[in-house]
Amino acid sequence: MAAEPQDFSNHPRMVPAFHGVLFTLILVILGYAVTMFVKRPAFGTAVGVMLAVSLVLITWYARVFALTVQDRVIRLEERLRMAALLPPDLQGRVPDFSRAQLVALRFASDAELPALAKRVLDEKITDQKEIKKLIKAWRADHLRA
């Protein structure tokens, strides 16, 4: 089954069980733990709040750590791609790209990348959404965390 073509409007990845169910369950657990502690302050209910807060932090950092690693891989991949696709006058400017710019530019097709990369650097465009909106020929990324 072929994946749906990507563009700016449908590229964010949402995993319902993670973004919806898990976050909702953790917030319910946190709310219940805080309610119980307020009603019956004791060591046991305080431990419940600490456990609930721990779940929030574990979930948050698991997501942040995965996205950080993903961004590092994207940065490496895009620098290698730019080394192959950019004209010599732009290759020396590859270190000038920020992480955010590289992450956004990964969606640009190989044909579109040189001109768009030059524009991003010359116009100092740093907003990821703005860069993604400039892309005409979208290069799908279905392997995101």
- End-to-end CA distance of the chain, in Å? 20
Where do the structural domains in the chain lie, given as residue ranges?
15-76, 86-140
Residue 2 has pLDDT above 60, yes or no: no
The answer to whether 127 and 92 are in contact (CB under 8 A) is no
Q: Please, which residues bridge with residue 138 across strands? A: 108
Query: What would the pLDDT profile of 38-86 be if each residue is shown by its tens digit?
Result: 999 999 999 999 999 999 999 999 999 999 999 999 999 999 999 999 9
Note the pLDDT of residue 20: 86
Average pLDDT over residues 98-120: 95
Compute the mean pLDDT over every residue in the chain, rounded to the nearest whole number: 91
Q: Bigger pLDDT: 20 or 52?
A: 52
Query: Residue 33 and residue 112: Cα distance in Å, rounded?
Result: 52
Average pLDDT over residues 8-25: 81
- Phi, psi for residue 93 in degrees, rounded to 5: -95, 0
Give the Å distances, CA to CA, from 1 to 4, 137, 139: 9, 22, 18
Note the pLDDT of residue 1: 46
The helix/strand count (H/E) of the chain reads as 6, 0
Note the pLDDT of residue 66: 93
